[in-house]
Amino acid sequence: MADAGTRQPIGVIGAGYVGLVTAAGFAELGSEVWCVDIDAERIARLQAGEVPIHEPGLAELLTRNRARLHFSTELSGALEHAALLFVAVGTPPTHSGDADLSAVREVVESMPRDDGHALVMKSTVPCGTGAAIKRVLATTGRSGLAYVSCPEFLKEGSAVADFLHPDRVVVGDDDDWAGQAVLDLYEPLEAPLVRTDVASAEMIKLAANAFLATKISFINEIANVCEETGADVVEVARGIGLDARIGPKFLQAGLGYGGSCFTKDVSALKLLAANSGYHFQLLGAVTEVNELQKRRVVSKLQRHLATLAGRQVALLGLAFKPNTDDMRGASSLVLAARLQAEGAHVRAFDPIAEAEARSLMPQLDYASGALEAVRGADAVVLVTEWPEFVALDWAVVAEAMAGNLVIDGRNALDPAAVQAAGLVYEGIGRAPRAAADGPVRGTASEAAR
Ligand SMILES: NC(=O)c1ccc[n+]([C@@H]2O[C@H](COP(=O)([O-])OP(=O)(O)OC[C@H]3O[C@@H](n4cnc5c(N)ncnc54)[C@H](O)[C@@H]3O)[C@@H](O)[C@H]2O)c1
């Protein structure tokens, strides 16, 4: 895009999903980028031209801009060449549910005493963190270091596209050179800009994730009521989503949200409120609904199959959503553990996330393809709506299964196509189509017919 040399060089600290995409994205826009991570193996792979995470378009971006990207475990190169140091280290939850800021603190401690650098916080941190960091810098003789909050809104699975075409860019700063320099970096993307104070920028990120999580838990509760009342949540979501005040996004009922961000950010915001003396009631319910939603499939299976002991259940998909290998917070973790606790044999397949899944669930039976996963299964559960599962030939699936039950945990399948193959379809919050279905094989209801 822009000519190298005409753009600010930058440093990026933390080469995970956010850091790598940020590094590759700004390199694409013409910046020289010094990317630093404490994970020596990750840096060695990046130096060798490998991409340690699965993110569509990222490999191409890294390859195309290889000459502008410098990977190191040492901060010195970034400090020498760049004034703006983007921080993209992890902020996972602590045992108390608050955000663990130890990696952020480590970065702050490693900053030099000079006036030429700025920390640009991309990591999601509780509101008040920037103020606390500035106090630490002041008391350690580094008040010349500028501080900018620049929260990240990318979505795993479409992170590169989100970086290049953001809905908005939020910059919180003290109205100084650093905030302007960050805005200049983003300027070629022509996105709406929100320049504000540091605390408000921090709260925008937490509020955005909490709102999206609330929307998902809301439609999941509507889905659960639909199951009791005969309505179809897909129709309901279509009907309410056309209202411009509501909008159609994040209204897909399913197995609950997962991923590294929603759970921890909702918890961090709830506890931030509690630590400040306010009881944020709504977020407690959002979390509880989500946890229960991950388990509802187990009761659906039990309702159809009577018992899960000795049953074979195929899980299609394990990643928390399609197009990523990220297993953090994936609904499959809870579902697989519950199924195994009930005595089911769980055979799973994910096109990309198997290596990550194996490290978290070594006890699962992993299949090398969707058809192998469903072979001999009493029931199939769609957990992650990878396109290859949506495009399955259900007649072939029916042939391979021992039973005939398909639970569509993402409402991503065409019920008619599944039923046309002689299978029993059940989604989440979808009107029962019992008339079209035969009995579930291997159950008391079948014997009674
Ligand atoms: N993943 C997302 O979808 C997403 C989206 C928006 C915001 N965020 C936020 O961005 C931050 C990073 O998330 P992520 O998913 O990229 O995390 P990640 O775990 O994928 O990457 C974090 C990286 O930081 C490195 N690191 C840790 N301490 C370090 C240090 N002291 N110096 C240098 N490197 C260090 C780790 O080795 C790791 O590679 C989090 O605060 C997260 O909440 C994530």
Tell me, in angstroms, the distance from the centre of ligand 1 to residue 327's CA: 15
Summarize pLDDT for 49-73 with one digit per residue, the tens: 999 999 999 999 999 999 999 999 9
- In this structure, the chain runs to a length of 449
Q: Is the pLDDT of residue 4 over 50?
A: no
Taking alpha carbons only, the member of 46, 51, 19 closest to residue 325 is 51
Q: How confident is the model at residue 260 (pLDDT cuts 50, 70, 90)?
A: confident
Q: Which residues pair with 146 in a beta bridge?
A: 118
Q: Which atom of ligand 1 is nearest to the CA of 36?
A: 33
Whole-number pLDDT of residue 449: 41
Q: How confident is the model at residue 1 (pLDDT cuts 50, 70, 90)?
A: very low
Type of residue at 410: R
Edge-to-edge, what's the strand order for the sheet holding 365-366? 365-366, 345-349, 312-316, 379-382, 405-408, 424-426
Is 127 considered catalytic here? no
Share of the chain above pLDDT 90, in %: 92
The answer to whether 303 and 235 are in contact (CB under 8 A) is no
- Closest CA to ligand 1's atom 15: 17
Summarize pLDDT for 340-350 with one digit per residue, the tens: 999 999 999 99
Q: Are strands 345-349 and 312-316 parallel, antiparallel or unpaired?
A: parallel
The one catalytic residue in 127, 150, 226, 261 is 261
Taking alpha carbons only, the member of 302, 382, 304, 374 closest to residue 344 is 302
Tell me, in angstroms, the distance from the centre of ligand 1 to residue 24's CA: 15
Share of the chain above pLDDT 70, in %: 96
Lining ligand 1 with CB less than 6 A are 13-19, 36-39, 42, 88-91, 103, 106-107, 122-124, 152, 154, 156, 260-261
- Closest CA to ligand 1's atom 44: 18
- Closest CA to ligand 1's atom 28: 103
Tell me, in angstroms, the distance from the centre of ligand 1 to residue 226's CA: 38
Edge-to-edge, what's the strand order for the sheet holding 69-72? 69-72, 33-36, 10-13, 84-87, 118-121, 146-149, 169-172, 193-196
Q: Is the pLDDT of residue 115 over 90?
A: no
Of 1-15, 35-49, 151-165, least confident by mean pLDDT is: 1-15
Cα angle, residue 359 at apex, residues 353 and 361 outer, rounded to 5°: 90
Tell me, in angstroms, the distance from the centre of ligand 1 to residue 15's CA: 7
Average pLDDT, the chain: 94
Taking alpha carbons only, the member of 35, 38, 36 closest to residue 68 is 35
Q: Which atom of ligand 1 is nearest to the CA of 261?
A: 43
The answer to whether 215 and 240 are in contact (CB under 8 A) is no
Cβ count near 285 (within 10 Å): 13
Tell me, in angstroms, the distance from the centre of ligand 1 to residue 48's CA: 21
Summarize pLDDT for 271-330 with one digit per residue, the tens: 999 999 999 999 999 999 999 999 999 999 999 999 999 999 999 999 999 999 999 999
Ligand 1 mutation target, pool 13, 21, 37, 160, most atoms within 8 A of CB: 37
Q: Is the pLDDT of residue 448 over 60?
A: no
